Structure 1
Amino acid sequence: MKKSFFLSLTVAIALMTAMPTFAKKANKLTSKEQKEGWTLLFNGESFDGWRQCNSKVMATNWTIEDDAMKVLLGEGKQPGQGSGGDILYEVKKYTDFELSIDWKASDMANSGIFYYVREVPGKPIYYAAPEIQVLDNENASDNKIDSHLAGSLYDMLPADPKTVHPAGKWNTCVIKAKDGQVTITMNGTEVVSYSHWTKEWDNLVQNSKFKDFDGFTEGISKGGYIGLQDHGYPVWFRNIKIREL
């Protein structure tokens, strides 16, 4: 009898401990997060606040599926061919912030998370904005270069691929920028750290594909929009939240 009681109590405690994980709803802030100043950038039901880069409307090749925003292949496009559907959160520009975003890649998928986006007519979203890579590390065609793997500062600094879950599984990326110092965390592990507007940053640019991008040689902005990339593969995003620092 006593043994059965303690067994039942142990099971009950285990279930109670696990409940918050399963009970937490997507695209909802906890009371603790609200007190810490977090704001949702996606409510799980609409694209309010979002629009296509260099456009006044939302890109047509995005949909909402399973509480996530999902980028689709553009009409008539083949996998890997984006259709100009890069999007940004237009409500506010951010300078010092902590951004958390869940993402899930389809097989062979490629995408990216941008910050400090500076819109320039006729130029793509990545013209003058740092990119944190989103990728199916195993099967994507762009998996041959270390700094092109998921979680990396694209074409500049590589992230540890062991921190990334495979295609079809959710990942959580956190970008923290404060006074020019940036850290990138993948699934709870810090994978990249660097400093903007320093000699270190200039060297990273000069040793990357961005050395010939006017937006980078002029200097990236000290504030800008948050953006997501359409690279011609299905990718899901949810739990997009930010707090200013």
Structure 2
Amino acid sequence: MHTKITILSFVLFAMVSCKNESKKEETQTWRTKKEALENETHNQLLDVEKEQGWELLFDGKTLNGWHLYNNPGVNSVWEVVDGELHSNANDESLTAGDLLTDKPYTNYELTLEWKISSRGNSGIFINVQEKPEIPTAWQTGPEYQILDSEHMDYNLPEKRPGCLYVFAPQKNAVEMKPGEWNTTRIKQVDGKVEFYLNGVLTGEQDFNDPEWKKMIAATHFSKYPEFGKATQGKIALQYWYFETWFRDIKIRELQTL
């Protein structure tokens, strides 16, 4: 009888210990994830990023460093909400247009995160030439495509997210994450550009290559004489009637030989 009680006690102790250990492990996992989310920071630079020459293009609080293309100082669709740069597509009293950096860039690496509403369309224009006689940013600046997976153009090869819009399909296949944050990286050195979406190389083009002129001539952009000519210029975020969110916009200028 004593032996049976001892065995039963041992089994019960082992079961309770395993349960407590499992609960402890789950609690630690939950706490780790919870703490990570609570301590998640955005629109800030790490010390190592500062050492590497990175600068914030968006401070998470204001539109400092940005203005509406050809229309600075107006009450535009662009606003800052909860540390995110948001395009407000719900208030028709606001002035619509693309948001442009105050400063032009030549050789640089740009990173940012973006999220877009269902069926939404947007983009990032580079090498934009802001001139009163040119009404829109896209008439000079080639576009890094941003598109929601529910958009009717999503499965068109030359209009997929991360593409050099209209000119080439994704160099390597990758999906955008619907309803979630996606990561973009754009690198340009001496007119040679690389596009990345969620860590995958999606586009490459040398804007100094004579072939680039032929590519432009084969599209509707041939109607716009300034399109794709520059290898330096401002960076613009496209507004296209749908809500889009941006954060962690960082840039570092690159030195070349």
> Is the TM value for this pair above 0.5?
yes
Give the TM-score normalised by the residue count of structure 2. 0.80
| 1:44 correspondence with 2:52 | no
Cα–Cα, structure 1 residues 101 and 214, in superposed 2: closer, same or farther, change >3 Å? same
Does 2:252 correspond to 1:236?
no
Give 2:100's match in structure 1, choosing from 59, 69, 88: 88
- Cα 1:13–1:104 change in 2 (3 A) is closer
1:133–1:152 CA contact under 8 A, matched in 2? yes
Check the 8 A contact 1:39/1:243 in 2, yes or no.
yes
From the superposition, tell whether residues 142 and 21 of structure 1 become closer, same or farther in structure 2 (CA, over 3 Å).
Answer: same
One-letter code aligned to 1:231: W
TM-score normalized with structure 1 length: 0.84
The counterpart of 2:230, out of the listed 212, 221, 224, is 221
Q: Deviations over 1:159-204 (max 9, x none)?
A: 2685233331100100000112111111111111111121232232
State the distance in 1 between where 2:127 and 2:34 align. 37
Q: What is the aligned residue count?
A: 236
Q: Structure 1 counterpart of 2:97, which letter? A: G
For the 8 Å contact 1:97–1:242, the answer to whether it is kept is yes
Distance in 1, matches of 2:173 and 2:204, equals 17
Map residues 156-167 of structure 1 onto 2, 5 A cutoff. Answer: 156-159=167-170, 162-167=173-178
User: Match for residue 62 of structure 1?
Assistant: 78
Q: Aligned letter for 2:241?
A: G
Question: C-alpha distance in 1, partners of 2:91/2:77?
Answer: 8
Task: Tell me which residue corresponds to 1:183.
Answer: 194
> How far apart are 1:149 and its partner, in Å?
1.5
Q: What SS does the aligned partner of 2:48 have? A: helix
Deviation at 1:66, TM superposition (A): 2.9
AA aligned to 1:116 is: N
Can you list the C-alpha shifts for 1:76-133, whole angstroms capped at 9, x where unaligned?
A: 49xxxx963211010x210000000110010010011111110121410111111101
SS of aligned partner of 2:104: strand
Runs of 4+ in 1 over 3 A off after TM superposition: 11-24, 74-77
Q: Cα–Cα, structure 1 residues 186 and 100, in superposed 2: closer, same or farther, change >3 Å? A: same
Match of 1:130 among 142, 150, 158: 142
Q: Distance in 1 between matches of 2:28 and 2:243?
A: 40
Could you say if the C-alpha distance between residues 18 and 165 of structure 1 is closer, same or farther in structure 2, counting changes exceeding 3 Å? Answer: farther
**Identity percentage over the alignment?**
31
> Considering only CA atoms, is the larger Rg found in Structure 1 or Structure 2?
2
Show the counterpart of 1:71. 87
Q: Give structure 1 stretches of 5+ with no counterpart.
A: none
In 2, the alpha carbon distance for the partners of 1:74 and 1:17 equals: 34
The gaps in structure 2 that reach 5 residues or longer are 1-17
* SS at 1:203 equivalent: helix
Structure 1's 147 and 59: CA in aligned 2 closer, same or farther, altered over 3 A? farther
| Equivalent position SS for 1:94 | coil
Secondary structure in 1 matching 2:114: strand
Conserved in 2, the CA contact under 8 Å of 1:83 and 1:230? Answer: no
Amino acid in structure 2 at the alignment position of 1:35 = E
1:30 to 46, 56, 79: 46
Structure 2 contact 161–176 (Cα < 8 Å) conserved: no
Structural mapping, 1:12-27, within 5 Å: 23-27=39-43
Q: Deviations over 1:21-78 (max 9, x none)?
A: 873411011111111000001011111111100012155212222321110226449x
Whether 2:214 is the aligned partner of 1:203: answer: yes
Please tell me whether the aligned partners of residues 142 and 165 of structure 2 are also in contact (alpha carbons under 8 angstroms): yes
